[in-house]
Chains A and B, each alone.
Chain A
Amino acid sequence: DVKVTQSSRYLVKRTGEKVFLECVQDMDHENMFWYRQDPGLGLRLIYFSYDVKMKEKGDIPEGYSVSREKKERFSLILESASTNQTSMYLCASLTGETQYFGPGTRLLVL
């Protein structure tokens, strides 16, 4: 079974804090993705990575960065969290042509 895990299910941070969201897959997948999901807007791609140390911007990269130092781990970084980054964050990993998702991290920025 494809298994994608995310470090936290719920997270509360303050405006201006640096936030790390971690995603891990143990299936040796090359491609990994970060999305945010907001009511009425669906899933929007923030960043993706197709190999270690490789990253590409998605549709809404502003305010975010990513890190892929090891194949199994893809981190999303909010350098200075803002209230408009309150959202559900979803990580996915690719096998074949199908993306499989983690359970999500619900982030609240106060």
Chain B
Amino acid sequence: GESVGLHLPTLSVQEGDNSIINCAYSNSASDYFIWYKQESGKGPQFIIDIRSNMDKRQGQRVTVLLNKTVKHLSLQIAATQPGDSAVYFCAEKGGYSTLTFGKGTMLLVSP
């Protein structure tokens, strides 16, 4: 498959570990943030979102934390599995519901 991972920060973990992927955003006025997962050769897939009036949101095996003071987002994946291997992007909402994406982090999960 195609590589979208060239020059990307990479996080390597063992299966069963917890993973934490970090993201800094730029606009302090942003009120909505999303995490996407992109597997090789596929389009980005929605994982979880969070509004700026929250500092934490949980999904199935995933948690997003928002720290507005330092404009930082993190995605925590519990009990990471080989199927979680992908590139993960954060995105912040702008005008007309456009999104500005981070550069992405590649997560590699070893069995």
Q: Which residues in A have their C-beta under 8 angstroms from that of B32?
A: 97
Determine whether the beta carbon of A101 is less than 8 Å from that of B44: yes
The reply on A75 being an interface residue by CB < 8 A is no
- Contact-size category for B: 20 to 34
Nearest Cβ distance between residue A46 and chain B, in whole angstroms? 11
- Contact-size category for A: 20 to 34
Pick from B56-64, B68-76, B96-104 the stretch touching chain A: B96-104
Smallest Cβ-Cβ distance to B3: which chain A residue: A39
Pick from B4-12, B14-22, B78-86 the stretch touching chain A: B4-12
Contact of A40 among B44, B97, B102, B103 (CB under 8 A): B103
Determine whether the beta carbon of B98 is less than 8 Å from that of A98: no
Q: Which residues in A have their C-beta under 8 angstroms from that of B98?
A: 33, 45, 48, 58
Assembled-state Cα–Cα distance A48/B44 (Å): 17
Assembled-state Cα–Cα distance A53/B5 (Å): 36
Smallest Cβ-Cβ distance to A38: which chain B residue: B4
Interface string of B1-42 (1 = CB under 8 A from A): 011111110000000000000000000000010101000011
Determine whether the beta carbon of A100 is less than 8 Å from that of B46: yes
Q: Which residues in A have their C-beta under 8 angstroms from that of B41?
A: 104
Q: Which residues in B have their C-beta under 8 angstroms from that of A45?
A: 98-100
Assembled-state Cα–Cα distance A109/B90 (Å): 29
Nearest Cβ distance between residue A7 and chain B, in whole angstroms? 14
Smallest Cβ-Cβ distance to B45: which chain A residue: A101
Q: Which residues in A have their C-beta under 8 angstroms from that of B42?
A: 103-104
Q: Which residues in A have their C-beta under 8 angstroms from that of B93?
A: 97
Determine whether the beta carbon of B101 is less than 8 Å from that of A43: yes
Determine whether the beta carbon of A103 is less than 8 Å from that of B6: no
B residues contacting A by CB (< 8 A) are 2-8, 32, 34, 36, 41-46, 49, 89, 93, 96-104
New contact pairs (13) apart from A39-B5, A101-B45, CB-CB < 8 Å: A31-B96, A31-B97, A33-B99, A43-B89, A45-B99, A48-B98, A50-B96, A88-B4, A98-B34, A99-B34, A99-B46, A99-B97, A101-B36
